């Protein structure tokens, strides 16, 4: 999984906001920092909304820091913590506004540094836990040690080796599809989910057997029945009827290998 996937894939955002909702419910039930004296549903609404806003604000900043920090020679840990400390300034302001709306008496007795300090106390462990869950323990530890290139994979010694794809499945595979930490092998009439990394599997395959046509897809040459163009998008039509998207930066390669012959273009 690449760092870009944490921001570009809707299911990742759904997961992030889901964890934010659970955190909001927990804080609403506990009622920390003096909020316990208010009504239960008021607490839950306040903390859930605050965790949602924090996720939308902090999550892209942290992911960007992990991706861009190493490019500028900065340790990922330093980049991540720094960007959280900076992003907590507007988040503390939002928390102060919410507290003034829900608990004006409580808000009147707090100072500016208190808002910021409490925000940092919650944001740092929350982001660390979220990264641990979404990025993965092994990948996160590698990033903290400064061994992960921006947007790339951790080195081999930091990544647990994936089980090899069974030969009988690979021999009959029409295409391979990446699904989180698994690879789905599409066969005639069925598919099989296999734990592994698509990139590692594709590196061991001969280009004459097939090509990786998209970051999430590898297709066997014999499985291609034709192709379609929809605006600027190109898709391969396989013998089982499956339509596989082609990344724009792979179109030229497919043309070079004869995959996009005009005679094969479907209406």
Q: What is the pLDDT of residues 63-96, one digit of tens each?
A: 888 777 766 767 878 888 899 999 999 988 888 8
Q: Does the pTM of the predicted model rise above 0.85?
A: no
* pLDDT score for 236: 93
Q: What whole-number distance in Å separates Cα of residue 85 and Cα of residue 91?
A: 10
DSSP annotation string for 30-74 = H-TTTGGGS-HHHHHHHHHHHHHHHHHHHHHHHHHHHHHTGGGT-
| pLDDT confidence bin for 146, thresholds 50/70/90 | very low
Mean pLDDT of the chain: 79
So what's the pLDDT on residue 245? 93
Secondary structure (3-state) at 226: strand
Strand partners, 190: 187
What would the pLDDT profile of 53-64 be if each residue is shown by its tens digit?
A: 988 999 888 888
The band of 139, judged by pLDDT with boundaries at 50, 70 and 90, is low
């Amino acid at each position: 999984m690449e760092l870009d996937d944490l921001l570009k894939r809707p299911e990742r955002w759904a997961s992030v906001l889901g964890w934010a909702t659970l955190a909001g419910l927990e804080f609403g039930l506990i009622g920390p920092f003096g909020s316990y004296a208010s009504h239960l549903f008021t607490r839950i609404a306040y903390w859930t909304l605050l965790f949602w806003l924090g996720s939308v604000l902090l999550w892209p900043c942290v992911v960007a820091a992990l991706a861009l920090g190493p490019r500028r020679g900065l340790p990922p840990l330093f980049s991540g913590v720094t960007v959280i400390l900076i992003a907590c300034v507007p988040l503390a302001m939002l928390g102060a506004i919410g507290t003034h709306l829900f608990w004006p008496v409580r808000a009147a007795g707090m100072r500016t540094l208190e808002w910021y300090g409490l925000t940092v106390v919650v944001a740092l462990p929350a982001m660390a836990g979220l990264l641990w869950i979404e990025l993965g323990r092994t990948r996160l530890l590698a990033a903290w040690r400064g061994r992960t290139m921006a947007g790339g994979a951790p080195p081999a010694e930091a990544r647990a080796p994936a089980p090899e794809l069974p030969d009988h499945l690979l021999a009959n595979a029409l295409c391979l599809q990446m699904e989180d930490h698994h690879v789905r092998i599409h066969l005639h009439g069925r598919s099989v989910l296999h734990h592994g990394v698509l990139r590692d599997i594709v590196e061991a395959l001969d280009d004459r057997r097939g090509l990786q046509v998209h970051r999430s897809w590898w297709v066997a040459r014999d499985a291609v029945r034709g192709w379609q163009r929809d605006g600027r998008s190109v898709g391969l039509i396989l013998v089982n009827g499956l339509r596989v998207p082609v990344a724009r930066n792979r179109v030229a390669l497919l043309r070079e290998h004869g995959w996009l012959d005009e005679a094969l273009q479907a209406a």
